[in-house]
Structure 1
Amino acid sequence: MGNELNLDKARKQARRAKNRRKRDREKARKASKKKWDIPLKWEWVLIVSMISLIGYKVTVNT
């Protein structure tokens, strides 16, 4: 009988954890829907910096 109570308790804890993760995901999704929220990606930073460097070298040498 003690094992059955532990299984119920474990199920409740797992359900609570699952619901907490779901609420956190929903909260993060709602928070990320800002109009001007643009994520900074390193690929774009690298591309823009390389284009800027090339443009600088071209204009300085002319």
Structure 2
Amino acid sequence: MTPETESVGEPSTESHEVVAAVDDADGRPRLVIANIARDDAWLSVPEQAAASLEEWQ
């Protein structure tokens, strides 16, 4: 893994609108990240397993 990011290949012509939210699933909070411009383009993790904003800095 490299600390720098760069585009690979041709730029996509697809629409991208990524959002994140904490949602309650089965009585447990989960962080959900989704590209709302596409169906089935999302992931979720238990909220406690998600990195905090301070950890991203």
RCO higher in 1 or 2 (8 Å CA, sep ≥ 6)?
Answer: 2
Name the one with the larger strand percent. 2
Normalised-by-shorter TM-score class:
under 0.3
